[in-house]
Structure 1
Amino acid sequence: MSLTARQCETAKCPPNQNTLVLFDGQGLSLRITRKTNNKLWLWQYSYNKKRNQMSIGSYNDFSLAEARAERDRLSKILQSGINPKIAKETQVTKEIEASGHTLAHLYKLATDEKIKDPRNPWSTPHIKRISFSWKHLKPLYNYPISDISKKHLREILIEIHNKKPPTCQSVKNLLSVIYTYAVNNEIYPTNLVAQFAKDPILRKPRSDEVEKHPPIPADKLGATYYHISQYKGLVTRHFLFCSGYTSLRVGSLITAQWKNYNEAEGILYIAKELVKNNKAIRCPVPKQMAKMFKEILKVQKTLNKNWNEDCYVFSEDGLKHIARDTPNVKLKYIIERSKLGFQAVAHGNRTVCEDLWEVQRFTDSAINIQQDHSSQTGNQVRDRYKGKDDFFEERSKMIQWTADHIDKEIKNYKKKHIK
């Protein structure tokens, strides 16, 4: 049965499957990936008595009608005795050569190369972040790279910087990837972005110039977590505590699924594509966090009769994890409602943990791995001489100490202020 435009628009992959394939007819199908919810048009055909499959494009670029039209166009190529996949690749190559190496074409070539890099391919979250940066360069999309002057490029970057400095740095990083590709392939002689290294506005900011995510003040730890403990939203409440225990990035923790949690070993496994340091994949789970997981699991199994290990941990029913901005919104609400007199965000928990761990004299390697810093020692040369030890035992003690410390601070606060 043929697909409808409505089906294509609303279709989602079930939580118990990795992919969902919807068939339209004449070899055309729409594949939906659960983890990213990406929708991709595929076409199956036979050439030289062998079954082949090729991508037509994403659902964002091709509507159902457009995908069918492209299928029909490729079918005519097949009927002429030419392999449509080879014909399409040749066509793309000719378009690129005819484009005069516009920034848009070089962006596609450079990012494709990074995505397919067998040694260090870009992760799905990173590709998504790159796409956001790319949107800021829209005024330059159709410019041949040879026609983009340093002055023009600087004007575009200054405009982005004036709106949001961190975004400007991300855009610069993407441009550097594009220019590096152009230089390596002898399309353009120099990386213009490198020439902004000492620019008074566009240079990379020093660490003391970067606006840090506001943390919970050390002397407000007990008060803050006491009021968090009184918040009625179980999932959000537990998320804020677990974030405070582990120092994990919000994105790494919020997307955790039950299949990532090994209760017997006390480990929460972080997806490889979400970490900067491969030694940070195993995150120790303190006893307080394990208890919270049990409470969430009990609620989910009550609400969701089809619960399975693909369900999300930080979710009411397991089907959809809490929104990424929820921890910050709720923490701000709790702090303001309790009149604690400061501002903080969930990401600031990383600063709190790092400060506490340094005072307790845990080793730098254990701290850097738990914080998922790309460098274990702070020096990439020294990193090469380190073994495979992920300091899991010390990190377990470190995180359990943090959970116990927060409990102690809550207890002290209640003694002084709660009657």
Structure 2
Amino acid sequence: MLTDTAIRKAKPKEKPYKVSDSQGLYLLVNPRGSKLWRVKYRMNGVERKLALGSYPEITLAEARSARDAARRQLAHSIDPNFVKRQERIEAGIRASNSFSSVAQELIEKKAREGMAEPTLAKMRWFVKLLGSDYGKRPVAEITPQELLHELRKHERRGRLETANLLRAFASRVFRYAVATARAERDPAQLLIGALTTPRVKHFPAITDAVTFGALLRAIEDYQGDPAVMHALKLTPHVFQRPGEIRHMEWTEVDFGKAVWIIPEGKMKMRQPHSVPLSRQSLAILTNMRTLSGSGRYVFPSIRSRTRPISENTINAALRRMGYPKEQMTAHGFRTSASSLLNESGKWNPDAIERALAHMVAGSVRRIYNQSAYWTERVEMAQWWSDYLDELREGGNR
């Protein structure tokens, strides 16, 4: 049996030599003076060695404890070297993966799976909101208290919805980290109920026909970037989601069939959506084609034609026209259209819902709605654009 005194007295020789303890544990003394703990064992009839570390970093007592742990693994037919190798791999993975890198990996995975670009952009935005310092933290070391500290910053500024969305996003990142052996738990899950729940807010919208007509006249008089001008004019006619409009591509527009086909990757409900185009919509797009038809996007950014107009462009234009965010938003055009179309009493509510690309419960009914209401939707699109023209001219029917 070894003692600390015997270990200290073990001097290096010309060749490595062993100083045995018991039950396979020994100390390997090298010519240069290093003293390394080893455990000799047999697995499936084959002799193997397990490295435990060096003396004095690993004491005699610690070496014996590690030997005993290895013997318990062997008793259950578990190879200690395999366990150590797995632990080393997992430790390396944890140490080299920050929250931001894991989040980016998750975003790339979702992109390959077809997640809509607006949703991916929002996930990237969430990573930025959590901050660069937080993003550099090893994902396995982040505590619930640490995450709550970051979320409270947004809560104190009145951004209650943002704080809750950030918690939910962080939870997705942590769950992905657990699934890929970079973390052992989801600290964001433990914060459910810790944040203030925001009251549900509906997008501000103008639903009065006369007031909406005044808005249309303001849009007609708007002066600015041509892409923004045309996007503003088209939005009331097609009343699709702002992200879908600003990401519209020329390859999605069929002028011959008068239809805009939005691919499923851009749709919130992950289903392709066809939008009938009225004569007025086609005229707006025809004018825009002379300006951006050689590029990818119908409404390119003024800074780079390889990117669409920014997320807040339409809202910013509404503000410049004198419409505060409490009165009208880019998303509010959908509410305006839904309200005025339903008030007209001319159209089947299901056709209106389908035009808005709202999800219909039940796969059979969903398929039915996609086909059965197309003719009505085409008629409705033209009626709606004609109605908008009348409102813009100051009428109201």
Deviation (angstroms), 1:346: 2.3
- Counterpart of 1:231 in structure 2 is 222
Other structure's SS at 2:168 match: helix
Distance 2:249 2:274 in 1: 14
- Counterpart of 2:382 in structure 1 is 400
| Amino acid of the structure 2 residue aligned with 1:194 | Q
Deviation (angstroms), 1:270: 2.2
Residues 1:198 and 1:364: Cα distance change in structure 2 (over 3 Å): farther
- Counterpart of 2:145 in structure 1 is 151
Deviation (angstroms), 1:252: 1.6
| Amino acid of the structure 2 residue aligned with 1:282 | S
- Counterpart of 2:47 in structure 1 is none
Aligned partner (choices 169, 173, 184) of residue 178 of structure 1 = 173
Deviation (angstroms), 1:409: 1.8
Aligned partner (choices 289, 292, 302) of residue 284 of structure 2 = 292
Residues 1:113 and 1:325: Cα distance change in structure 2 (over 3 Å): closer
* Deviations 1:335-373, CA, capped at 9 Å, x for gaps: 36xxx9984232221221122233346455544443344
Q: Mean alpha-carbon deviation: is it higher for 107-116 or for 395-404?
A: 107-116
Other structure's SS at 1:199 match: coil
Aligned partner (choices 354, 362, 365) of residue 338 of structure 2 = 354
| Amino acid of the structure 1 residue aligned with 2:170 | L
Does residue 198 of structure 2 align to residue 216 of structure 1? Answer: no
- Counterpart of 2:24 in structure 1 is none
- Counterpart of 2:321 in structure 1 is 334
Aligned partner (choices 342, 356, 361) of residue 371 of structure 1 = 356
Deviation (angstroms), 1:109: 4.8
For residues 229-308 of structure 1, the aligned pairs below 5 Å read: 229-232=220-223, 235-297=227-289, 299-300=290-291, 308=294
- Counterpart of 1:107 in structure 2 is 103
Residues 1:130 and 1:404: Cα distance change in structure 2 (over 3 Å): same
Deviation (angstroms), 1:247: 1.2
Residues 1:311 and 1:187: Cα distance change in structure 2 (over 3 Å): closer
Distance 2:315 2:256 in 1: 31
Deviation (angstroms), 1:133: 0.8
Question: What number of residue pairs does the alignment pair up?
Answer: 300
| Amino acid of the structure 2 residue aligned with 1:257 | E
Distance 1:94 1:277 in 2: 37
Distance 2:161 2:96 in 1: 31
* Deviations 1:270-325, CA, capped at 9 Å, x for gaps: 2443212344531111121112223334x53xxx8xx54x4543469995655544
Distance 1:410 1:104 in 2: 49
| Amino acid of the structure 2 residue aligned with 1:348 | G
- Counterpart of 2:187 in structure 1 is 192
Other structure's SS at 1:282 match: strand
- Counterpart of 1:387 in structure 2 is 367
Other structure's SS at 1:283 match: strand
Distance 1:328 1:402 in 2: 23
- Counterpart of 2:33 in structure 1 is none
- Counterpart of 1:81 in structure 2 is none
| Amino acid of the structure 2 residue aligned with 1:393 | T
Deviation (angstroms), 1:224: 1.7
| Percent of matched pairs sharing the same residue | 18
Structure with bigger gyration radius: 2
Distance 1:236 1:187 in 2: 44
Distance 2:135 2:227 in 1: 43
Residues 1:144 and 1:227: Cα distance change in structure 2 (over 3 Å): closer
Other structure's SS at 1:404 match: helix
Unaligned runs of 5+ in 1: 1-92, 415-419
Distance 2:136 2:309 in 1: 39
Unaligned runs of 5+ in 2: 1-88
Distance 1:142 1:405 in 2: 54
Residues 1:113 and 1:408: Cα distance change in structure 2 (over 3 Å): closer
* Conservation of the 8 A alpha-carbon contact between 2:350 and 2:369: no
Normalised TM-score (structure 1): 0.59
Other structure's SS at 1:386 match: helix
* Conservation of the 8 A alpha-carbon contact between 1:99 and 1:105: no
* Deviations 1:102-157, CA, capped at 9 Å, x for gaps: 534543554454344xxx43344433321221123334334445543323322221
Normalised TM-score (structure 2): 0.62
Residues 1:280 and 1:106: Cα distance change in structure 2 (over 3 Å): closer
- Counterpart of 1:70 in structure 2 is none
- Counterpart of 1:160 in structure 2 is 154
- Counterpart of 2:46 in structure 1 is none
Residues 1:109 and 1:249: Cα distance change in structure 2 (over 3 Å): closer
* Conservation of the 8 A alpha-carbon contact between 2:259 and 2:277: yes
* Deviations 1:25-65, CA, capped at 9 Å, x for gaps: xxxxxxxxxxxxxxxxxxxxxxxxxxxxxxxxxxxxxxxxx
Residues 1:151 and 1:356: Cα distance change in structure 2 (over 3 Å): same
Deviation (angstroms), 1:213: 3.4
| Amino acid of the structure 1 residue aligned with 2:222 | Y
Residues 1:325 and 1:179: Cα distance change in structure 2 (over 3 Å): closer
Residues 1:198 and 1:284: Cα distance change in structure 2 (over 3 Å): same
- Counterpart of 1:74 in structure 2 is none
| Amino acid of the structure 1 residue aligned with 2:391 | E
Deviation (angstroms), 1:99: 0.6
Distance 2:305 2:105 in 1: 36
Aligned partner (choices 128, 132, 135) of residue 128 of structure 2 = 135
Deviation (angstroms), 1:266: 0.9
| Amino acid of the structure 2 residue aligned with 1:214 | P
